[in-house]
Structure 1
């Protein structure tokens, strides 16, 4: 691996871009000093207005499973060109086709039939899931894991771990309880025999439901209505809850009358290996929320599956939910075109195993080359994390954009895990692009070392 200086190696970390006067400044776009404006894309690459190429190892925030495939829009148009728009709250054959195909993907994994409701983004899908759960068991407390992220809306910001999401807008009437969870490596009381979480962790997530715990369970008029979990915590730094702990939390919630909701917005559609992330641990949820990989980033759409009879009309009455754009033919056409591509992928799970192995090999090289900066790595499915020795991920992410004079690299970091670089490229990425990703990361880590030395 070679080391090359980048044009922003000496730029102050606090430098911020000039934001156009007509543009709202709160968007995540403007959290860095280097803001490319993209004009075209293909495969795993983007091109900015100045002609610079970027390799997207973040897959448009996890949405672009098939990369930047412009033929998806062409196929979508063929599905909806005779119905370019649809009056609100009207049915269509296109919508029924998409709902039928989506339901099959969920019920095949859970082993029980269900119904699918559509919504716009992931946060809206999570709110719809809560509507369905509350319709079935009544409004009550919601239990989540520490480190969780379920959206930034008024309701979902209450479920998400970071207090930053509740600073400006929150549904304060919603009672939320957070359970401790660890992914083995960070467990404060591990089981040496298992090499991860032990009996104490199981006890910690199953002790609620009594007067002493302060959280009502079976026998209390106000108990827990829903337990919501992510099989892999993307914003939490690609941490995977210990499988035994997750199973215990699910079993305890169900025994206490709570509806179990799997947030598969990021992890669904083979992002972490199997079709749904919850299959990694062998748990079976009552409700599943999916979004990102259903439309490859080309339309806003989320899907909420609920086992029978949770979303049946006797329980979840017509009119309990509505949204002007959830039946829009364009989004449904995109979903149908993307589902066609998933159907044509003969063994996506095996392909994800190969991708994880390929990323593991390359991340191990980076750790060996930069032992003072990289203390760990892990890849599973089309997702990986590079664990740093300090809270350097935000700076490293920015350096990746400019370290190589010929190629920018887009990776992710989050405020909840400032020591972790999240890597989740298009699932169809090839070996040459993985090599290029590794080269830019190597150069960026070298620049990071020099920057830290000067401090």
Structure 2
């Protein structure tokens, strides 16, 4: 949208290129507590979006107070220097992945998801040399110059892109959108063979035996921006196995799915995958700092292979961000019943979504839940309008949900993982009211 209408509602001093001003009404929040946000006009909103899944622990001022207390004697750090806090955080993060995979690794830090994905590619290219990157159709791995090439929507490449990077897209893992999907709605033997065809003379994509080959295969265990799509496990395993056979580094993009967002600690555990590199971010800081992690199995991140100086960033070693991660990791360790509780959250969301959907069969095509996420598939491209109704239709409270341009018929739901049953009841009530307004 361009023209006088959007210019009139964007403050004259504010850049409008990001997502904030894509809607006519933008709530201005002044406080948050638990799973609730309060706007400047006093209206309360139940947050079922959680800063794109980042705020797993809800809005907790005590978390930030604890973190700042850990770094008040060392709030900043000169470049090219080390701290005990950084080493502690690196060690804790390494164990989170190595413990799940049963193999040692090393951890790099970066600022955000897109930056971490670029670091992961640096590690893969250090091992294999710069080459082709294979991803799934429907993927989203960031909007930077490099990661926009990996992401599916051409919108991300309109203004800035690393055109020299060769990217090959495997067929969509979304059976709902796949033109070859059978009536059963599951992947066929042909689907699984299709993701393992590259590397031959016929496909135009090099593998073992070719000088120009695939350096990395990058996947999401659940395609969040693609509409909460989980690739069929056997299909994903076939793609990973073939990539490894062809010598590609297997990179798991766990930026959204990591730290129990879709059930287990890591989304790739749902399919029984063993990646070579794991990238995560959102579940590490509860939105309190910009920091991401790149874990790589030995020897991919060793100094002999990935040399010191291959990458650097001014802010990845600052103690304030590290202290936030350290504090959040304490919270995760203290949540001893997390697996059981996330399963209960999944069941509770599915139960409520199903009950509402059954009252509106003409509007809702499908609902489902997965760990601390859920999706609402509508009968048409009405997600943007319904998202607005979630905010505005109910007289007592609004609800924040997510939508993406890549899936205009899907509402994404990913609240704080600490959301209570009574708050899910509020969500269901507002959902029902919003659907009534959609008719």
| TM-score normalised per structure 1 | 0.94
Q: How far apart are the structure 2 equivalents of 1:366 and 1:232?
A: 24
Describe how 1:265-276 pairs up with structure 2 within 5 A. Answer: 265-276=255-266
Describe how 1:204-283 pairs up with structure 2 within 5 A. Answer: 204-283=194-273
Query: Of 61, 73, 79, which aligns to 2:70?
Result: 79
| Aligned-residue offset at 1:50 | 1.1
Please give the secondary structure, in 2, of the residue aligned with 1:278.
Answer: helix
Runs of 4+ in 1 over 3 A off after TM superposition: 14-17, 183-192
Query: Of 29, 35, 43, which aligns to 1:44?
Result: 35
Describe how 1:124-139 pairs up with structure 2 within 5 A. Answer: 124-139=115-130
| Aligned-residue offset at 1:398 | 1.1
Question: Is the CA contact 1:386–1:422 (under 8 Å) kept in the aligned structure 2?
Answer: yes
Q: How far apart are the structure 2 equivalents of 1:447 and 1:121?
A: 37
| Aligned-residue offset at 1:198 | 1.2
1:122 correspondence with 2:130? no
Please give the secondary structure, in 1, of the residue aligned with 2:325.
Answer: helix
What is the alpha-carbon root mean square deviation over aligned residues? 1.3
Question: Is the CA contact 2:136–2:173 (under 8 Å) kept in the aligned structure 1?
Answer: no
1:383 correspondence with 2:373? yes
Question: Is the CA contact 1:183–1:196 (under 8 Å) kept in the aligned structure 2?
Answer: no
Which stretches in structure 1 are left out of the alignment for 5+ residues?
Answer: 1-13, 450-455
| Aligned-residue offset at 1:155 | 0.2
The residue number in structure 2 matching 1:327 is 317
Please give the secondary structure, in 1, of the residue aligned with 2:30.
Answer: strand
| Aligned-residue offset at 1:88 | 1.2
| TM-score normalised per structure 2 | 0.97
1:430 correspondence with 2:420? yes
The residue number in structure 1 matching 2:343 is 353
The residue number in structure 2 matching 1:60 is 51
Please give the secondary structure, in 1, of the residue aligned with 2:341.
Answer: helix
The residue number in structure 2 matching 1:368 is 358
1:146 correspondence with 2:126? no
| Greater mean deviation of Cα atoms: 410-419 or 395-404 | 395-404
| Aligned-residue offset at 1:187 | 4.3
Question: Is the CA contact 1:102–1:116 (under 8 Å) kept in the aligned structure 2?
Answer: yes
1:413 correspondence with 2:416? no
1:18 correspondence with 2:4? no
Query: Of 263, 282, 295, which aligns to 1:305?
Result: 295
Query: Of 77, 80, 85, which aligns to 1:89?
Result: 80
| Greater mean deviation of Cα atoms: 162-171 or 395-404 | 395-404
Q: How far apart are the structure 2 equivalents of 1:353 and 1:89?
A: 43
